[in-house]
Chains A and B, each alone.
Chain A
Amino acid sequence: TQLLEQSPQFLSIQEGENLTVYCNSSSVFSSLQWYRQEPGEGPVLLVTVVTGGEVKKLKRLTFQFGDARKDSSLHITAAQPGDTGLYLCAGAEGNNRLAFGKGNQVVVIP
């Protein structure tokens, strides 16, 4: 099993602040995906990172894939209440499944 560990587990910040959350593994992944899940809903894909060292931007969200393809980070600039949610990273485990980390619960206080 290729464990994905996400840290911090919970993060609460004020609106306008920046934050970074992490997804780490001892295994190499061909790609990693980030999802956001809001209460009562299913996870929604935000981005897929494929190349080691890759940086992808989605408005105020910046995703980075580690050079060794074992870890990834998500940085949110000037967080807004709408960024509140559970951020999940996921990697392919063999051909048959996506394995998920336990998530980073982010709360942005207005």
Chain B
Amino acid sequence: NAGVMQNPRHLVRRRGQEARLRCSPMKGHSHVYWYRQLPEEGLKFMVYLQKENIIDESGMPKERFSAEFPKEGPSILRIQQVVRGDSAAYFCASSPRQPGQGNSPLHFGNGTRLTVT
């Protein structure tokens, strides 16, 4: 059973370009989460999606950032007009249930490291 797959592992973009990060959850998992990790800040929640629905995007900046989890295909985190401050590791995680239900653990991918030059 394949784990959570993220690609690309590394992404370099120049300021002003778009970054598109992809995540395929574990088989049978319909709950997807995106987190951003910076060394001094730890793992910060960005957005929680279920198939075709954004459930909670309160951790995601309102401008330039968007996320989707279509009926078919991977979840996508899109960052438009990237700036240097967007450089970070972005992790996707999936679970079969909501975090508040049955102590559901998160299964993480190995992240996409975005560098904005």
Residues of A at the B interface (CB closer than 8 Å) are 30-31, 33, 35, 40-45, 48, 50, 88, 90, 92-103
Q: Are B103 and A97 in contact (CB under 8 A)?
A: no
Instruction: Given the known inter-chain contacts A97-B59, A99-B45, please indicate yes or no for A42 contacting B91, CB distance below 8 A.
Output: yes
Q: In the complex, how many residues of chain B place their beta carbon closer than 8 angstroms to a beta carbon of chain A?
A: 27
Bound CA span A110–B4, Å: 32
Are B43 and A45 touching (Cβ within 8 A)?
A: no
> Do the beta carbons of B105 and A97 come within 8 Å of each other?
no
Q: Which residues of B contact A40 (CB under 8 A)?
A: 110
Pick out which of these stretches binds chain A: B12-20, B61-69, B74-82, B93-101.
Answer: B93-101
Residues of B within 8 A of A (CB): 4, 33, 35, 40-45, 48, 55-56, 59, 91, 93, 98-101, 103, 105-111
- Whether A95 touches B101, Cβ cut-off 8 Å, given contacts A42-B4, A42-B93, is yes
Query: Do A41 and B110 touch across chains, with their CB atoms under 8 A apart?
Result: yes
- Check if B41 sits within 8 Å of A98, measured CB to CB: no
Select A33's contact among B4, B40, B100, B105, beta carbons within 8 Å: B105
Contact status A96-B56, CB under 8 Å: yes
The complex places the Cα of A25 from the Cα of B1 at a distance, in Å, of 36
Interface residue from B41, B98, B110 paired with A96 (Cβ < 8 Å): B98
| 16 CB-based A-B contacts, threshold 8 Å | A31-B103, A33-B105, A42-B93, A42-B108, A42-B109, A44-B108, A88-B42, A92-B99, A93-B99, A94-B100, A96-B99, A98-B33, A100-B42, A100-B44, A102-B40, A102-B41
Q: Once bound together, how far apart are the Cα atoms of A40 and B105, in whole Å?
A: 20
A96 nearest CB neighbor, chain B only: B56
With a CB–CB cut-off of 8 A, which chain A residues contact B45?
Answer: 93, 97-99
Give which listed residue, A35, A45, A98, A102, contacts B99 with CB less than 8 A.
A98
Question: Nearest Cβ distance between residue A37 and chain B, in whole angstroms?
Answer: 8
CB distance from A42 to the nearest CB of B (A): 3
Q: Which one of A50, A95, A103 contacts B103 once the chains associate, using CB atoms below 8 Å?
A: A50
A contact residues around B98 at 8 Å (CB): 95-96
Q: Roughly how many angstroms separate A31 CA and B99 CA in the complex, as a whole number?
A: 10
